[in-house]
Amino acid sequence: MKFPRASGILLHPTSLPGPYGIGEIGPEAYRFADFLQATGQHLWQILPLGPTSYGDSPYQSPSTFAGNPLWISFDLLVQDKLLSKTQLKNFPAFPAGRVDFGPVIQARFAVLKKVCAAFAEKASPEMQAEFADFCSRNADWLDDYALFSALKDAHGGVPWTQWEPELGRREPAALAAAREKHAADIRAVKIAQYLFDRQWKRLRAYCAERRIQFIGDIPIFVAHDSADVWAHPHLFFLKPDGQPSVVAGVPPDYFSATGQLWGNPLYNWEAHQAQNYDWWMARLRRIFEMVDVVRIDHFRGFEAYWEVPGTDDTALNGKWVKGPDQHLFEVLLQRLGRLPIIAEDLGVITPPVEALRDRFEFPGMRILQFAFGNDDRAAEFRPESYPEHCCVYTGTHDNDTTVGWFHSQAGEGSTRTQEQIDAENKMVLDYLHTDGHEIHWDLIGLGSRSNANVFVAPLQDVLGLGSEARMNVPGVAGGNWQWRFSWDQLTDAIRDRLAYVTRATGRMH
């Protein structure tokens, strides 16, 4: 599908400002939408919308269908008379510039628990009817997810493979007893999902009125400790005890000398095909209810994926295994029609992967930070090689910020020597004819002027922030996903400059 010439900002909702420990989809999100409109941006790109668990990664969610209840706006709950300001009087103070996930989760869920418990009493008749309708329309995933969440809480958060065997195996009698025993907790999960869905739809409608589209994100794989795997074990390669027999990852690359061991269970594609890819159709239908465009992370895994033995500690001993390739997308095209999908085609990309991407007219990605290295693919990431039908980024959530990247030094865990870094920086300066003192604006200008129809910059790059604002370091378990901005960083000068660049490069309509 062809995309019009436009630009946008990558900002996950967790990074929005606000007084309650984490970004919410309430007033601060609306204010950010106003900023996007004022600067001529038509795209707001986010990371996966789902709940998070261990490691706080949006790419390891207990459900690919659910929304993240941590983003539910307390202010909007007050407006809807489901929460009072008095109940928030003693809410703890948290750092403004980062998410302290553990204490924030505890404090916010304590509030949400009270809201859900009082929902039957405080919700308007209209909301009660909306809730019943939401539960009915989403029963195919919501029932399993709510039961999974209630059981996980009842078992102290341990993985489902450590529950009683009859629950892990989903024996009907055991599930029926669990639904009765945990009925209140199951209902609370459903209420939180309804509240998220209600608020998200309101935000999306607000953005649509301002001609702003959301670019959503789905990981190709799902977490092992998820309702998705627990409810559909036959769709994955699992051992009799429920543990993955093989797991996903990638071979050594730009980010890691030993590859990346993601640990996600791999799909049994024959089982998916036997069901005419029903699960994938439901997954895409759900995400397109919530966003306008979808970026599929690790798109190359549909052509071939890196299979690692489930007992290995690194991804070094993996092997490439053929995926469903064109057949999956042929079926999805027949059942869902042509979809606005961006293919994340970074990493080890082969002609068959490119053929799959191009067969369905999915735009690929180009990363400006990759354009100046000494590897064979660097030239592909320089603007003179871009087709119109692609999406260019200064960097992604996995990259350092542009300022941090430019000023990086060789060290532990780095895949580059200091000589390589110095050579890369010299090439950047020579190519851009700059002294590098505003390297973030140099790359924003370069991407905006490019032939690519879509240009996206992380907000950290618009603000010119260094490595302290990096969102994620691949392969590092802790300290990620925490960054938040403040409104005083988003100055009038930055707003005006971004608007000028957008207008001057033909991306403002």
List active site positions.
297, 344, 398
Where on the phi/psi map is residue 44: left (φ > 0), alpha (ψ -120 to 50), or beta? beta
Q: What is the dihedral of CA 233, 49, 26, 459, to 10 degrees?
A: 160
Question: Structure tokens of 207?
Answer: 């953005």
Question: Structure tokens of 104?
Answer: 């924030």
Query: Residue with structure tokens 């606005």?
Result: 340
Direct distance between the N- and C-terminal alpha carbons of the chain, in angstroms, rounded to an integer: 20
Nearest to 61 by CA among 286, 257, 234, 270: 286
Query: Residue with structure tokens 């195919």?
Result: 140
| Contact by Cβ (8 Å): 8, 42 | yes
| Contact by Cβ (8 Å): 425, 406 | yes
- CB neighbourhood size of 68 (10 A): 23
Cβ neighbours of residue 113 closer than 8 Å, sequence gap 6 or more: 188
Burial of 132 (0-12, 13-18, 19+ CB in 10 A): exposed
| Contact by Cβ (8 Å): 353, 303 | yes
Nearest to 488 by CA among 104, 23, 207, 97: 97
**CA 507/CA 41 separation, integer angstroms:** 8
| Contact by Cβ (8 Å): 303, 356 | yes
Q: Distance from CA of residue 259 to its chain's centroid?
A: 21
Query: Residue with structure tokens 């630009």?
Result: 7
DSSP state of 219: E
DSSP state of 244: B
Question: Structure tokens of 457?
Answer: 């910059």
